[in-house]
Structure 1
Amino acid sequence: MTAADTGQAQQAEQAVPIEPARQRPPHWPRYALIAILVLGTVLYGWVMWTDNWGNTYYTAAVKSMSSDFTNFLFGSFDPAGAVTIDKPPLSLWPQVVSVKIFGFHQWSVLLPQVVEGVAAIFLLHRTVRMWAGEKAALIAALVYALTPITVAITRTNNTDTMFVLMLVAAAYTFTRAMQALEPRTRTKWLLFTAFLLGCGFLAKMAAAYIVVPAFFAAYLAGSKAHWRRQVLDLAGAAVVLLASSLWWVAACGLWPGKKPYVGGSTDGTALDLILGYNGLGRVFGGEGNGNGGAAATGGGGGPGAGGASFGGPPGAGRMFGDAVGGQISWLLPLALIALAFAAVLGFRRLRRSAPADPAHRAGWVLWGGWLLVNALVFSNQKGVFHPYYTTLMAPAIGALVGAGTMWAFQQYQEREGLGRFVLPADVAVTAAWAWVLISRDTSWHGWLRYAVLIVALAAILALVLRKVPKLALALGLGAVLLAPAVWSAAAAVSTTAIASLPAAGPAEEEMPVGWDSGKLTADQRKVLDYAKSHASGAKITLAVEGGSQSAGVYIVATNETVVGMGGFDGKDPVPSVDQLSTWVREGRLRFVLTGGGMMMTDEKTVIERSKWIKQNCKPVLTAGESGTLHECTDA
């Protein structure tokens, strides 16, 4: 090769652009997410290593549903298929599947809850990452995992865990829709969002619709489509939402064969349950929705059922009150600060006609609307309200805190305007509120307020000195998360929590034997043994008056066919007097237990059953607080 050829070759090599080496994304976010998921698994799953059966109202239903397809489809509380639980059965279906695979054990009942709780953490991370970035997403996931009421509710088998998962999944698909560039892809994800919201309805009925206005407003804020396309998208989503919500309601009304009475309704229809006890009645109050007894608990009455377990009186301060504050409000001021600054900045950008990112704007509207609408409804709810309902606010708080913290940190680093003071102010306000919450009962981890104060002061000092910004941010996060983390850990390992009234923090009363324990007391065992030994071939071993808490433990602890008369609170008109007479006449039922319920009622149906029992049954055994066993013959 000549010198000329060599020179040409070198020129050719120089003319070929050299592709720069691809920079691999850092691995630490993946490891951080795994650590958060493991943390959530431990907090939610610790209960599986205890002797806890969850909420026996739902656990009994899971066992009954696993025995028959009709019971499974409609969510029957008892094996005989007499009455359903007072909600749609979607949240219990995974528990039934788990029981069918692994057998009926306390851990197999609770396992789906753990999976659903961890899945919600993961989906929240993925949703916020698309909207506000990786670091904001990790903070959001951590905040959600360490929300005390979320830990308390996820370690039980109440309906809220599946309910929240469906709505977080809807937020994920909605965020995908807002970021889609192709109209058809956007519409597809939007319809999927509507379907998931409908699944939320099948977990907890009308409560799922509380967030629908937030999704609607976020779509209008983030859509760049022509108005005709927007109308078509929203109309299609409305159809899917109604179809995915109401198919079970239609099945209840159109089922051609024998089916259970819909518990909680006045006429046996799911529509009445939606519009009444589990719908408008929850918001506006009314018969069966007062805060005064076991009937209003929506998952079992119990110790303290008339006081703080109901969340305190309606009003603007409910979310910060004694009953609710320690469950959800630790980071609520921080989330509201982030939302307020986002609104101010958005308004300024609008006035300047500055270019905006519609998808990013939709995220703020979605999570801000989610938080505000739920807080408004919960604060003013006059019907049944429990602190554990507020777990629905946790994803929004996590998302807003994550995005707001990273924005405040960016302003802090840039040292521009008043924004640079937001991060120290966030730490100070949140630590001060934690001091107030902990001080309400210093006998329960009162030391924690001093620990929060010390870490908060260290974080603020580091932020002021500006020497190590990342360490200052870590200290700030530690200060705001320390108290809810301790409350969450305590909730995770608690052995006295009442699964039907889950709550973190100081326990009002310990759980008595037989309450949500899945174990028969000596008196209950005596009643059951007598009924079994004298059943004379009756298919229904025992019919129990007094509501689900009286009957549930018999279903959970045995393989006998036990009927809870009157459904959840004993007021449902099932079995009717005619049904009881038929059962006794046909030899299907011989023994009825009365006097073991948690409440008295003047309901007409209860009075009629009591009158029939007095006329057709004779006392054969008295078993203390468990009640009186009657042997019945049809007149």
Structure 2
Amino acid sequence: MTTTLDPGAPAAAPVPDPPPPPRPRPRWELPTLAGLLVATAALYLWDITASGYANSFYAAAVQAGTQDWKAFFFGSLDPGNAITVDKPPASLWVMALSGRIFGFSSASLLVPQALMAVGVVALLWATVRRIAGPAAGLVAGAVFALTPVAVLMFKFDNPDALLVLLMVGAAYATTRAIEKAGTRWLLLAGVLIGFAFLTKMLQGFLVLPGLVLAYLWAAPTGMWRRIRQVLAAGVAVVVSAGWWIVAVALWPAADRPYIGGSTDNSALELAFGYNGLGRIFGGSGNGGGVPGGGVPGGGVPDGAFSGGGPGGGGGGFGGQTGLGRLFSSEIGGQISWLLPAALLLLVAGLWFTRGAARTDRTRAALLLWGGWTVVTTAVFSLMEGTFHPYYTVALAPGIAALVAVGGHEAWRARDTWTGRGTLAAATALTAVWSFVLLGRTPEFLPWLRWVVLVAGVVVAVVLLVPVGRRRWLAAVAAAAVLVGAAGPAAYAVDTTTTAHQGSIPSAGPSVEGARGGFGGGFGGPAGFGDRDGAGASPAAPGGSGPGEEHTDAALAELVTGAAGARWAAATLGSQSAASLQLATGASVMAIGGFTGSDPAPTLEQFQAWVAAGDVRYFVSGGMGGGPGGGREGRGTGAQIQEWVQQHFTASTVGGRTVYDLSSPTS
């Protein structure tokens, strides 16, 4: 800090020291970065259409958005605008715009998701590089790219890909803001978090504590200015997140689709109920209760049910709540490979920077990424509502950045026993945990776990020895990185070469004894679950799993012939509707939303639409969103089904009972 030297002059406000000059860019950095980005694109784009439409629930909404602008704006499941998906539409906008430009297909649906992974890697490199140098930036990008659950979700059509991209963008903007107390950068971070809310609602706010803590602690300006800037950024969050919520509230309800997943047709209630407190505490609102339970909105569009997990205290297919959840059989192989090392390096990094000035940017980065990781880990571990293993993709950037920044600080202190001990402990811990995780899939590369364990122990011992030769040090550091990356890289390659469909996808090979779900990494029967189920997706023949349903050719032909109607068909549950809509391109109404239990449409609304000739066929007998959902109808769905059965003649088409609503019997 610089201050006035005149003792008679009034005290001047402290002037922050200028940030250090930019690090010189080594000649190898940009070629290596280019190679990393190309490799990431290759890994994530590899055979990407093998998954077909992936999650048909979101794919149908994207298809609807390519056909109708109102469906695009609201995130409607159907172009006739009966009901929306259970999330805000930001992620659907990206995929629907791609579909409008290139035509709706598996490629136009999923390629933008894969390219977002390249964007995340680039942003992580740029963010970490500003703090810990080019090598650390490249390590952070590579660690993220090789995280199995990241490979899964950035090749899928769930909202998580855009969510992670926006949150990492907010972290970059906050890092830039901290350097010079820049208000504009901080406002940009707020806008990005607001759009993260419009992607997956309150999950986008989990990183806020880390961003706010880092800025309030380290920005080089006075406390009150820091507080005012953070409050201004909060306003940016509210405005960028709230404009769509306000638009939905002000739009006449009769002229827009019902907000799926809500109990009162309100986007705000959806945000703080089913997608908010319901996720944390479970047992209330849409998604509460056990499978087949009678609570309103008991179905869960993510493909599971909140509460009532095995043994009680569960969170759907995410296993038991508790601090060990992220290390369990259901979830460990998805995300936890480097989580122990990341937490160790966070603590070590804070110790190494304990004597630094308040404005030290390395400690600020540790607070930012540490807050991101610790808060998200705690929420995911303890939440009692709906939880799926793939949610953990939100942890991948935080883990990657902590490994890179914390590892860099320990490397700088390698001349001390503390520094060398930290590096050795992180390497050994990662090797041992990788050995455990790989042991859960004993038929998958059985030799790899032993190679990782032995190499990890050897590298850890070498790291304890003080060595002065630069080339030898570089080789040892590279070996440590390879030890940490070997296990997740193998799972990542397995994930990218396997087709995934349905509502509960998982990364990596099947885990024996896992209780979390069906198929894939959860050890369920082949073809039932996320891993080789086909549904209506192209290029992926086989059995169907939760969230996917096969559409018979005869039924598809019948519905296609009625494509001129506002709704060519109506059926119970969004999964039946989505599969039929994807197979035909016609508008299909999902009565009651995901499992047929949302209170929409009402019987009176449906009767009016039928009388106006807006609905041609009613198709019964399909699946809802999961076990026990929608097949026989619940709530208003049951009323509509009963009315149709009483007033229209049934016929069988492709194994399904179909009613022609243009020819009433009475």
Deviation at 1:611, TM superposition (A): 2.1
Contact (CA 8 Å) 1:427, 1:476: kept in 2 or not?
yes
**1:174 shift after superposition:** 0.4
CA contact (8 A) 2:337 2:434 kept: yes
Residue among 592, 600, 613 paired with 1:587: 613
CA contact under 8 A between 1:136 and 1:402: conserved in structure 2?
Answer: yes
Q: Report the counterpart of residue 386 of structure 2 in structure 1.
A: 384
Cα pair 1:487 1:505 within 8 Å, conserved: yes
Q: Which residue matches 1:558?
A: 584
Q: 1:576 aligns with which of 602, 605, 625?
A: 602
The offset of 1:248, in angstroms, is 0.5
- Bigger mean CA deviation after superposition, 238-247 or 599-608: 599-608
SS in 1 for 2:619: strand
2:32 corresponds in structure 1 to: 32
Give the equivalent residue in structure 1 for 2:574. 548
AA aligned opposite 1:386: H
Q: 2:647 aligns with which of 588, 613, 616?
A: 616
Following the alignment from structure 1 to structure 2, what is the Cα–Cα distance between the partners of residues 623 and 177? 60
* Match among 646, 652, 659 for residue 630 of structure 1: 659
Please show how residues 391-470 of structure 1 align to structure 2 within 5 Å: 391-412=393-414, 414=415, 416-460=416-460, 462-463=462-463, 466=467, 468-470=472-474
Contact 2:427 2:483 in 1 (8 A): yes
Contact in 2 for aligned 1:299/1:501 (Cα 8 Å): no
1:374 pairs, out of 373, 376, 381, with 376
1:282 aligns with 279
1:339 aligned partner? 346
* Matched AA of 1:174: T
Alignment partner of 1:384: what SS?
coil
- DSSP-derived class of the 1:66 partner: helix
Question: Post-superposition shift, 1:382?
Answer: 0.5
Correspondence for 2:13: none
**Residues 213-612 of structure 1: matches in 2 within 5 Å?**
213-256=209-252, 258-287=255-284, 288-290=286-288, 292-293=290-291, 297-300=300-303, 310-347=317-354, 349=355, 355-412=357-414, 414=415, 416-460=416-460, 462-463=462-463, 466=467, 468-495=472-499, 498=502, 500-506=504-510, 507=520, 508=523, 509-510=526-527, 511=531, 514-515=534-535, 517-518=537-538, 524-532=552-560, 535=562, 538-545=565-572, 547-598=573-624, 599-600=628-629, 603-612=634-643
Cα distance, 1:356 vs. partner?
4.8
Is the CA contact 1:74–1:260 (under 8 Å) kept in the aligned structure 2? yes
**Counterpart position of 2:78:** 78
CA displacement at 1:297 relative to structure 2:
4.6
User: How far does the alpha carbon of each residue in 1:201-226 deviate from its partner, in whole angstroms, 9 at most, with x for none?
Assistant: 00100111111111111111112322
Offset of residue 586 of structure 1: 1.6
Partner AA of 1:493 in structure 2 = T
Change (3 A) 1:143 1:296: farther
| Mapped contact 1:527–1:621 kept (Cα < 8 A) | no
2:615 alignment partner, SS class: coil
Compared with structure 1, are the counterparts of its residues 523 and 73 closer, same or farther at alpha carbon in structure 2 (3 Å cutoff)?
Answer: closer
Give the letter for the 2:609 counterpart.
W
Distance 2:240 2:560 in 1: 43
Indicate how the Cα distance of structure 1 residues 389 and 291 shifts in structure 2: closer, same or farther if over 3 A, else same: farther
Task: Normalising by structure 2, report the TM-score.
Answer: 0.84
Instruction: For 1:326 and 1:97, locate their aligned partners in 2 and report how far apart those are by CA, in whole Å.
Output: 34
Deviations 1:541-574 (A, max 9, x none): 21111x2221112222222222121112221222
CA change 1:532–1:166 in 2 (3 A) is closer
The change in CA–CA distance for 1:532 and 1:179 in structure 2 (over 3 A counts) is closer
Shift of 1:281: 0.5
Q: 8 Å contact 1:95–1:110 — kept in the other structure?
A: yes
Report the structure, 1 or 2, having the larger helix content.
Answer: 1
**Which AA in structure 2 matches 1:324?**
I
Question: 1:91 & 1:408 partners in 2: Cα distance?
Answer: 38
Pair 1:543–1:253, CA change in 2 (3 A)? same
Aligned to 2:202: 206
Return the alpha-carbon distance in structure 2 between the equivalents of residues 563 and 93 of structure 1.
20
SS in 2 for 1:73: helix
- For residues 340-398 of structure 1, give each alpha carbon's deviation from its aligned partner in whole angstroms, at most 9, with x where no partner exists: 11233344x2xxxx645433322111100000000000001100001111111111101
Aligned length: 596
Output the CA distance in 2 between the equivalents of 1:280 and 1:537. 41
> How far off its partner does 1:485 sit?
0.3
Find the counterpart in structure 2 of residue 11 from structure 1: none
Larger Rg: 1
Return closer, same or farther for 1:56/1:531 CA change in 2, 3 Å cut-off.
Answer: closer
CA–CA separation in structure 1 for the residues paired with 2:484 and 2:152: 20
Q: Aligned partners of 1:536, 1:159: CA distance in 2, in Å?
A: 29
Point out the more displaced range, 26-35 or 162-171. 26-35
User: What secondary structure is seen at the aligned counterpart in 2 of 1:455?
Assistant: helix
Q: How many Å separate the matches in 2 of 1:419 and 1:301?
A: 45
CA RMSD of aligned residues (A): 2.5
SS, match of residue 397 in structure 2:
helix
Task: Please say if residues 125 and 137 of structure 1, whose CA atoms lie closer than 8 Å, have aligned partners that are also in contact.
Answer: yes
Gaps of 5+ in 2: 1-22, 293-297, 511-519, 542-548
Structure 1 range deviating more: 455-464 or 436-445: 455-464
Residues 278-331 of structure 1: CA deviation (Å, up to 9, x unaligned): 1110111023334744965533459xx987982211111001111111011000
TM-score (norm 1): 0.88
Alignment-derived partner of residue 109 in structure 1? 109
5+ long unaligned stretches in structure 1: 1-22
